[in-house]
């Protein structure tokens, strides 16, 4: 973690608030999908948790979910899949007691003789009537299987570790380059690239897991600094992140004495990977290829963010020479409303300048199904110089795409550009 705690906390708080808004926007659609009367995202998640998978139902459900996600990966051309199947198994009683969440059991990186990693699923044993034992309900309900499979299996950790075994990395890199930020950053990034293609309930729980990672990134350092108490942290996790009492207790213990600092790596690694992708997209323009980009990232093994960026810039970017190309506007762009959700900005670049007269310029942005701005034009002028800078700035913005019927769609929106004063 090469970021000051104060900066990390600020980033995480802002992300937490934004993710909550996204969750509230999608909650009514999930409620409709499941015939629920509740519309607050917290209440909807509590209802979804009642659909618990137990015993023999767990393994076939996750195998089907993996097949669903592999189909998405192939149809949306996200990355290369190996011909071999991924391994999934049910945990033993002892494993479930130690680790109640689905997790990746990685293969040996040194001296491997053909072993594969395994996606390990926890047992879900109903609590006996009248028992006071704290019960986890966070991982074994149907809607959670989308994002958990994307994170732990494919396109997440299973591909991340097994590709190192199958394609090979140097012994030095296998032994010394492990970095929790990069490992867990790829896992959360894998959820992000898969989320737009999940059904509404899967998207809501994917956002819930992203909310947890942002909460970790500010609660952990704030507990160390004495800004919040363990009781306050637990209340946030149970009330707003909607974790079980058992899971919230485990989280607070993780931040305070089991592994202080480690839980922040998910959010930070994910943020660094998003920033790297955005930088490469700006350099390559229309030649950016997410399939090739993802394959290259996986081929590097477990590198810290700065070394990963160096590899991408030195070895990947030159293979796809940047060009200045005109961006054609697709034939049909939707407008927001009537079942079309608004795209959500995830990277914004504001130009330097000072709008002395006429206020801030307004720009019409055409955002494609990948979240890229393919065309920008002025709809409310300020002055010619600032208008030009506003258009150039908006062309660099990145969005989570608009959605219609569960699919990303191109959309046209109007945005105001705020100039940085100097």
pLDDT digits (tens, 9 = 90+) for 194-212: 999 999 999 999 999 999 9
Tracing tokens 């867990």 back to the chain, one arrives at 184
Whether 334 is in a domain gets the answer no
Could you tell me which of 217, 162, 213 has the C-alpha nearest to residue 189?
Answer: 213
Could you tell me which of 178, 212, 32 has the C-alpha nearest to residue 109?
Answer: 178
pTM: 0.78
Give residue 384's pLDDT: 67
CB 164 within 8 A of CB 174: yes
Give residue 174's pLDDT: 80
Whether 188 is in a domain gets the answer yes
Give residue 164's pLDDT: 85
Whether 284 is in a domain gets the answer no
Give residue 325's pLDDT: 42
Residues 256 and 349 both lie in one domain: no
Tracing tokens 């917290």 back to the chain, one arrives at 42
> Helices 265-284 & 5-34, crossing angle to 10 degrees?
90
Identify the domain boundary among 266, 294, 320. Answer: 266
Give residue 321's pLDDT: 66
Could you tell me which of 410, 265, 270 has the C-alpha nearest to residue 346?
Answer: 270
Per the structure block, which two tokens stand in for 98?
A: 């130690």
Question: What is residue 90's three-state secondary structure?
Answer: strand
**What are the residues facing 378 on neighbouring strands?**
363
Pairing of strands 118-121, 88-90: parallel
Rounded CA separation 206/143 (Å): 9
Whether 309 is in a domain gets the answer no
Whether 133 is in a domain gets the answer yes
Rounded CA separation 375/234 (Å): 45
Identify the domain boundary among 213, 244, 266. Answer: 266
CB 15 within 8 A of CB 218: no
Give residue 383's pLDDT: 66
Query: DSSP character for 287?
Result: G
CATH no. for residue 355?
A: 3.30.2420
Whether 351 is in a domain gets the answer yes
Whether 314 is in a domain gets the answer no
Rounded CA separation 253/142 (Å): 27
Rounded CA separation 108/47 (Å): 40
Question: What is residue 400's three-state secondary structure?
Answer: strand
Give residue 320's pLDDT: 85
Q: How many domains does the chain have?
A: 2
Q: Exposed e or buried b for every residue in 253-281, given b needs 16+ CB within 10 A?
A: ebbeeeeeebbbbbbbbbbbbbebbbebb
Residues 112 and 253 both lie in one domain: yes
Identify the domain boundary among 266, 288, 304. Answer: 266
- Domain coverage including residue 395: 344-416
* Helix H or strand E encompassing 411: strand 411-416
Give residue 86's pLDDT: 93
Question: Which residues of the chain, if any, have pLDDT below 50?
Answer: 126-128, 322-326, 329-330, 355-358, 422
Give residue 359's pLDDT: 58
Whether 322 is in a domain gets the answer no
Residues 234 and 371 both lie in one domain: no
Residues 57 and 165 both lie in one domain: yes
């Amino acid at each position: 973690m090469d970021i000051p705690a104060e900066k990390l906390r600020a980033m995480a708080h802002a992300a937490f608030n934004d993710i909550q808004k996204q969750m509230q926007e999608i909650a009514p659609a999930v409620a409709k999908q499941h015939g629920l009367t509740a519309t607050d995202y917290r209440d909807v998640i509590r209802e979804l948790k009642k659909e618990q998978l137990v015993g023999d139902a767990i393994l076939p459900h996750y195998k089907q979910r993996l097949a669903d996600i592999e189909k998405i990966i192939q149809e949306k051309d996200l990355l290369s899949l190996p011909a071999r199947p991924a391994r999934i198994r049910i945990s033993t009683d002892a494993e479930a007691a130690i680790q109640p969440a689905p997790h990746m059991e990685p293969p040996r990186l040194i001296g491997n003789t053909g072993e594969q990693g395994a996606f390990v699923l926890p047992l879900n044993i109903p609590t006996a009537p009248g028992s006071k034992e704290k019960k986890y309900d966070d991982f074994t309900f149907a809607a959670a299987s989308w994002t958990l499979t994307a994170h732990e299996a494919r396109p997440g950790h299973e591909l991340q570790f097994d590709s190192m075994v199958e394609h090979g990395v140097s012994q030095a890199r296998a032994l010394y380059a492990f970095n929790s930020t990069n490992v867990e950053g790829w896992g959360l990034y894998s959820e992000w690239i898969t989320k737009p293609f999940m059904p509404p309930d899967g998207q809501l729980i994917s956002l819930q897991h992203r909310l947890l990672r942002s909460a970790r990134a500010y609660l952990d350092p704030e507990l160390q600094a004495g800004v919040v108490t363990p009781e306050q942290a637990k209340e946030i996790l149970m009330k707003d992140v909607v974790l079980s009492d058992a899971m919230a207790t485990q989280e607070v213990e993780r931040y305070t004495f089991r592994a202080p600092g480690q839980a922040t790596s998910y959010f930070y690694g994910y943020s660094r990977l998003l920033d790297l992708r955005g930088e490469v997209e700006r350099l390559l323009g229309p030649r950016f290829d997410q399939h090739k980009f993802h394959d290259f990232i996986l081929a590097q093994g477990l590198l810290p963010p700065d070394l990963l960026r160096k590899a991408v810039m030195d070895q990947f970017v030159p293979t796809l020479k940047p060009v200045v190309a005109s961006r054609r506007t697709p034939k049909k762009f939707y407008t927001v409303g009537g079942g079309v959700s608004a795209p959500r900005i995830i990277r914004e670049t504001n130009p330097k300048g000072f709008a002395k007269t006429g206020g801030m310029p307004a720009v019409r942005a055409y955002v494609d199904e990948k979240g890229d701005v393919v065309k920008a034009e002025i709809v409310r002028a300020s002055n010619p110089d600032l208008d030009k800078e506003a258009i150039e700035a908006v062309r660099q913005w990145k969005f989570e795409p608009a959605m219609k019927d569960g699919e990303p769609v191109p959309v046209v929106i109007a945005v105001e550009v705020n100039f940085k004063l100097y």
